[in-house]
Amino acid sequence: MRNLYIFLLAGVLMTACKKDNHTAKAVYMPQAGNGIVKESFAIADTPFIVSYSAVIVGSDYPTVSGANAGNDITVHFKADTSLVAKFNEENGTTYPLLPAGSYEVQATATIPKGATSTGNIPLKIIAKDRISPFQDYMIPVSIESISGAAVSAYQQTTYFVVNGTADLASMQPYDESGWSIAGFSTEEPAEGGGNGLAKAAIDGDPGTFWNSKWSGGEPGPPHYIIIDMGEIKPVHGIGIMDRYFEGDWQTDGHGQPQDVTVSVSTDNSTWDDVAAIKDMPHDAGQPWYKYFVSTLKQARYVKVTVTKVYATSSTNIAEVQIF
């Protein structure tokens, strides 16, 4: 009888231990199991909202039941900025950290008693005038600490990569006052009055223009000019303004660029092609034709190569913008 009593007591204790283990919940971030969480959005006056959350381990498994909070669980989050360099080193990436002031992390959330999750928590991306468009940025969000439950050994950090896009109308061109011409295929001083020279394409005056050589021979495309912005900047796009023409030279074309390649460089030696523009129009007046590049690059030098022209062999451009 005594042995039976000890056996029954042991069974009760084992059952109690199992019950305690079942109610001692651990918490993790479900988004952290998805690798990088990438979000693209249009830059606007209002913040863009990305969501993260914390849940009880097992509560989102279809094979587990009864995994809910036996008490209120408080979860503390932080922007884990120190992890970006480590992530890049381990994964061979080069993501820059989302700049300070361009995001807000909600630091605390609660899993209420009887619930399984904090629900969606907002990560606010405050992009306007604070980040460069078309650039990927990383911001890791981690569980810093938990009150009322255990910390899971897994999935404690979600790596968000965000990319804000912009429309052409909102892009402001860089100040060209410090620019210079670092190279050109040909130019035509015979235009007179300072016209025809490559530097006329960056003087801010629509009435002046660069023209490739036509006096004493008129070589065909490609024609190019190289602009030195004087410092390294992100190149998002380019604007081109035609030389002013009227009559048939305007309607039928007279050397206006038709196809253009845009290349960028940090040293005026190694170049990356970032845009291939086809069939540019040549409308009346002097409208700006603006184009985004296909690949965002940091550059000091921008090379504009006209590979096809309208009606003639030489080409001409009144003004170039870079933004």
Output the domain CATH number for residue 230.
Answer: 2.60.120.260
Where residue 4 falls among pLDDT bands split at 50, 70, 90?
Answer: very low
Same domain, 76 and 124: yes
Q: Are strands 157-165 and 36-42 parallel, antiparallel or unpaired?
A: parallel
In this structure, the answer to whether residues 202 and 80 fall within a common structural domain is no
Answer with the one of 109, 131, 166 that is the final residue of a domain.
166
The pLDDT assigned to 18 comes to 35
Residues 154 and 197 in one domain: no
Considering the domain architecture, whether residues 192 and 308 belong to the same structural domain is answered as yes
On average, the pLDDT of the chain sits at: 91
Query: What is residue 67's predicted lDDT score, i.e. its pLDDT?
Result: 83
pLDDT class of 63 with cuts at 50, 70, 90? low
Q: Are residues 114 and 194 in the same domain?
A: no
Task: Give me the number of domains the chain comprises.
Answer: 2
What does the alpha-carbon distance between residue 72 and residue 61 come to, in Å, rounded to a whole number? 21
What range does the domain containing 151 cover? 27-166
User: What radius of gyration, in Å, describes the C-alpha atoms of the chain?
Assistant: 31
Task: Establish if 18 belongs to a structural domain.
Answer: no
Taking only the tens place, the pLDDT of each residue in 75-111 is 999 999 999 999 999 999 999 999 999 999 999 999 9
Residue 16: which H helix or E strand, with range?
A: helix 2-23
Residue 173 lies in a domain: no
**What strands, in cross-sheet order, belong to the sheet with 150-151?**
55-56, 26-28, 150-151
Residue 240 inside a domain? The answer is yes
Same domain? 225 vs 311: yes
Does any domain span residue 171?
no
Q: What is the pTM of this model?
A: 0.74
3-state secondary structure of 81: coil
In a domain, 38, yes or no: yes
Residue 16 lies in a domain: no
pLDDT of residue 35: 87
pLDDT tens digits, one per residue of 18-36:
333 334 489 999 999 888 9
What's the token pair of residue 298? 């940091």
The band of 15, judged by pLDDT with boundaries at 50, 70 and 90, is very low
Residue 12 located in a structural domain: no
Let me know whether 52 and 137 are in one domain: yes
Q: What is the pLDDT of residue 62?
A: 60
CA neighbor of 146 nearest in space, from 66, 64, 29: 29
